[in-house]
Amino acid sequence: MFKSVEFKEETTLHIFTECIYAKAVWSLSGLPLITHGFNSFAQWLDFQFKNLEKGSCCLLLMLCWKLWTARNDKVWNGSLPSPSTLVEGSRRYLANWTNIVREDTATSIAKNSSVHKWDKPSSGFYKLNTDVAVSTLNRSMGFGWVLRNDTGQFVAAECIPGKGVFTPKEAEAMAIREALSWIKREGITHLQIESDALEIIQSLKQNDEDSSCDLILLDIKDLLRSIHHVAISYVSRTANVVAHSLAREACSMSVRQEWISVPPSFIVNELYSDLN
């Protein structure tokens, strides 16, 4: 485990370029960076953008994001990945994200549309969509999920309010776990699951370890193993609007609410739109 013992002024320039941990990350990244002689992080970033090729700029941004995530994980959970783990994970995530963007683009061109819409599941299957919304003002979260059959007919949905604010990855994982717990209790099989949480889907498919939410991911994997004929995949936000509306509504609720057969009025228009 990499440990830092520095106690310097907490500036963005220090966080991203001057601390021991950041220096180790940039050294392992292989990027030809100039890291000294800058008065601000914005100046440092602007200089790198002007001197790096497009692919290197993408990796630079990914590493900055992962550095910030790792720092938050250290503050809130006391864990910090090694610099080499962070760099390798960033490269893998960037490659996967690039592939998904390419696939989404190809699909959009094939359909002559830049907007992805919800699709009915395969014959004999149900489709479960999940999402999470966060209210930083009220320090609360909302989980939402919706279940539809192979004709697109509404089957069930739930709004689940939550206290506190977790990392986006933890919150998205919790939303999937809550939905699958209901699915298991109801004994539903032949299930296609969709979420717009790219990083969670990647972690589940690649068996990635993530100290910030590895226990939640293990719960999800156990639930998936208990369901016959199940698949989980990433979907764009535009194909996940009903689940997002449920999650957003859950943020303003004090108790969870469940609907069976008859949907709540605030998602009726979106359910109809998904079918047309």
pLDDT in tens, 179-221: 999 999 999 999 999 999 998 998 888 765 555 678 889 999 9
Whole-number mean pLDDT of the chain? 87
**Mind giving me the DSSP string for 216-245?**
HHHHHHHHHHTSSSEEEEE--GGG-HHHHH
Residue 115: pLDDT band (50, 70, 90) is low
How many distinct structural domains can be found in the chain? 2
Helices (H), 111-237: 168-186, 198-206, 214-225
Q: Is residue 39 a contact partner of residue 14, using CB atoms and an 8 Å limit?
A: no
Task: Please tell me whether residues 235 and 103 are part of one structural domain.
Answer: no
Q: In this structure, is residue 2 part of a structural domain?
A: no
Task: Please tell me whether residues 69 and 148 are part of one structural domain.
Answer: no
**51, 82, 110 - which closes a domain:** 110
Task: Please tell me whether residues 103 and 176 are part of one structural domain.
Answer: no
Q: Is residue 54 a contact partner of residue 61, using CB atoms and an 8 Å limit?
A: no
Full domain range(s) for residue 216: 126-274
Q: CATH no. for residue 264?
A: 3.30.420.10
**78, 110, 142 - which closes a domain:** 110
Give the list of residues 6+ apart from residue 257 with CB closer than 8 angstroms, or none.
158, 159, 264
Task: Please tell me whether residues 188 and 240 are part of one structural domain.
Answer: yes
The reported pLDDT for the residue numbered 101 is 72
Q: In this structure, is residue 143 part of a structural domain?
A: yes
Task: Please tell me whether residues 148 and 259 are part of one structural domain.
Answer: yes
Task: Please tell me whether residues 130 and 265 are part of one structural domain.
Answer: yes
The reported pLDDT for the residue numbered 145 is 98
CB atoms within 10 A of CB 54: 7
Give yes or no for residue 112 having a pLDDT over 50: no
Q: In this structure, is residue 263 part of a structural domain?
A: yes
CB atoms within 10 A of CB 155: 17
Residue 127: pLDDT band (50, 70, 90) is very high
**57, 81, 110 - which closes a domain:** 110
Task: Please tell me whether residues 156 and 67 are part of one structural domain.
Answer: no
The reported pLDDT for the residue numbered 106 is 58
User: What is the pLDDT averaged over residues 135-158?
Assistant: 91
- For the beta sheet containing 154-163, the strands, ordered from the edge strand earlier in sequence to the opposite edge, are 230-234, 191-195, 126-135, 140-148, 154-163, 257-260
Give yes or no for residue 113 having a pLDDT over 50: no
Q: Supply φ then ψ for residue 142, to 5 degrees.
A: -135, 130
Give the list of residues 6+ apart from residue 7 with CB closer than 8 angstroms, or none.
none
